[in-house]
Amino acid sequence: MDFITVCNIGIHIMVFLFGICIGSFLNVCIFRLPTGESLTKQNSHCMTCGTPIKWYDLIPVFSWLILRGKCRACGAKISGRYILVESLTGILFVLTFLRFDVITDGLYYPALLCLFIAGLIVIGFEDYDTQEMTVGVLMYLLLLAFVTRVLTSVLPTRFIRGCDVSLEDGIIGLFAVSVPLLIFGFVLTPLICNFIDEDRKAVRKIRKRLKTEKLPVSEEQKLKKALETHTTAVKEKGVTFGFGMGDIILMSAGGLMLGWKAAVVAAFIAIISGAVYAAVLKARADSDKPVRAFAFGPFLTAGLILSSFFGTQLMNLYIDFLTVPAVPTM
């Protein structure tokens, strides 16, 4: 083994250890941000017995493995989520660094990408747990993408090397997926729902009858009561239709950071995997447990993370495939 190889292996081990430590902090963010708890003030404690956790039981990944996922004081099960987020962060950080030749390209661009992936992990799990995204994390992603684009345009050769996303790709990426999502989620879906949703149809029908027909008082009261039930049903469903504003901001940030090609690939991955998941939910649902709305954020973040590795290349292959070869001239 030559010196360079040893250096490279060393760097990647460091990156993994650093990644699992960041992952440990991401766990705190995922659990505390939705409840508004402070990220720094409170010390870690067992969720069951409340015993403060000693520093040697807080080592990412390793402590969980040594304790076999159980509290040292009371033996209660510790969520596998901890080790999942920690190891996922470590592995994704290493995979990101593996894409670059750190010794010639430097650490800056892969480090920026890792910071972005960290934010995506928080958003994905947060949305999965609560169906909501913290505004602060979305703003962090947007700001980080903006800073990265500025740095890669101003310092292309001195500090930020190995970046294959141009300024134009980033600016197009800001809108490439977010604008279609906006149109689909806030214009088309409500319009379509208006025509196919049973409750909405019922509301229109009852309103029309109340307005145009002369009804006996008892009948009118019955209709008014039905109107109220249907209106509440519409209101409850209203939020679950289409995409949230969070999804749109997320895809803007993703497009600015990774370029429009990767953002489009991410959207495809998300829509296809989301549709498969919905089909599985529907197949398993019965009359007792009807299909409930699920968060789309985890699919979008997974799509963005995957396409940060090969999205641009995949899109370029597709564009080449579509391009008709030039006719040879005589």
67 interacts with Zn ion by CB under 5 A: no
Q: What angle do CA 207, 209, 215 make, to 5 degrees?
A: 125
Distance CA 209, CA 220 (A): 9
How many residues sit close enough to Zn ion to count as binding (CB under 5 A)?
A: 7
Q: Which of residues 74, 155, 317, 319 is near Zn ion by CB under 5 A?
A: 74
Check binding of 167 to Zn ion (CB under 5 A): no
Is the CB of 71 or the CB of 165 nearer to Zn ion? 71
Does position 49 interact with Zn ion (CB under 5 A)? The reply is yes
> Does the protein bind Zn ion through residue 42 (CB under 5 A)?
no
User: Of residues 96-155, which lie at the interface with Zn ion (CB under 5 A)?
Assistant: none
Among 78, 75, 77, 76, smallest CA distance to 60 is for 78
| % helix, strand, coil for the chain, step of 5 | 70, 0, 25
Cβ distance 282 to 320 under 8 Å? no
Of 33, 71, 122, 176, which one interacts with Zn ion (CB under 5 A)? 71
**Which range of residues in 72-80, 108-116, 148-156, 282-290 is near Zn ion by CB under 5 A?**
72-80
Among 48, 153, 221, 232, binds Zn ion (CB under 5 A): 48
DSSP string, 173-222: HHHHTHHHHHHIIIIIHHHHHHHH-HHHHHHHHHHHHHHHS---HHHHHH
Q: Does 73 bind Zn ion (CB under 5 A)?
A: yes
Q: What is the DSSP string of 66-119?
A: HTTTB-TTT-PBPPTHHHHHHHHHHHHHHHHHHTS-HHHH-SHHHHHHHHHHHH
Minimum CB distance to Zn ion, residue 21 (Å):
23
- Both tokens of 23, joined, read 């992952």
59 burial level (CB within 10 Å; 0-12, 13-18, 19+):
middle
46 binds Zn ion (CB under 5 A): yes
| Comparison of 74 and 183: residue with beta carbon closer to Zn ion | 74
**Rounded least distance, CB 71 to Zn ion, Å:** 3
Q: How far is the CB of 44 from Zn ion (least distance, A)?
A: 11
And the tokens for 264? 């489009």
Q: Pick the closer one to Zn ion by CB: 73 or 233.
A: 73
C-beta of 46 vs 85, nearer to Zn ion: 46
Sole window of 22-30, 37-45, 76-84, 251-259 interacting with Zn ion (rule: CB under 5 A): 76-84
Asked if residue 221 binds Zn ion (CB under 5 A), the reply is no
Cα separation, 16 vs 86, in Å, equals 10
Q: List contacts with Zn ion (CB under 5 A).
A: 46, 48-49, 71, 73-74, 76
